[in-house]
Amino acid sequence: MHSPVKVITVEREYGSHGAEFAHDLAARLGWRLLDSELVEGAASMAGVDPKMAARLDERLDPWYYRYGKIFWQDPVYVPATGKDEKTFDSERMLELIRAEILEAAKVGNCVLVGRGAACALAGRPGCFHIFVYATASAKKEWFARAFPEQAQQAEHHLAAFDRRRAAAIRKFYQQEWCSRGLYHMLLNSCIGTEAMISAVECAAGLCTAPASATAR
């Protein structure tokens, strides 16, 4: 890395505990975390209910809406009432989130979770991009604990969630969400949060030298 790392993006598979890792990483570094805050910020800029924005998070608009965008009358896709007068849909939300991501990168010292942050900041100096994954068995075990009534369909739901994320990134950024070329580091969350944080600190040049080493 030629520039000091001031921004870390964390993309994650559903069920990999990537978001929890990002929260812990930000706390360890003392940096600002932007996760659901990005969605809430987009809703605020557009003047819409944050709950509406959450329904559109990391997914494409339905195909029938995309093909009939001008004529479709669904109450979730209402004209914004704030500063932004454009219709608020998932594509518009990603536009607003991208603006938030770029602004956050200017300030620095932040951890950005998902929402195409690695694509928005690709090639930008001072940014370190991570993709968190987990074994299929670990994800299925997590899903069964979180949603016991749907445990039999765990594999289907896990795959569907990631497909939605991938489709949104492909449409908006023309990039493959899980492409290894987008990331500086791929982490299997099965190694544990402490090991993940230590690996990232060292790889991103954020390690603190031991006291004995600095005293020499």
Residue positions counted in the chain: 216
CATH superfamily of 7-214: P-loop containing nucleotide triphosphate hydrolases (3.40.50.300)
Range with lowest mean pLDDT among 72-76, 96-100, 159-163, 207-211? 72-76
Tell me how far CA of residue 197 lies from CA of 104, 179, 190, in angstroms. 21, 22, 13
In this prediction, residue 50 carries a pLDDT of 87
Q: Please list the residues that pair with 105 across neighbouring strands.
A: none
pTM of the model: 0.83
Tokens, residue 179: 């492409």
Distance, in Å, from the CA atom of 44 to the CA atom of 194, rounded to the nearest integer, reads 35
In this prediction, residue 61 carries a pLDDT of 55
Which residue would you say has higher pLDDT here, 64 or 74? 74
In the chain, where are the structural domains located?
7-214
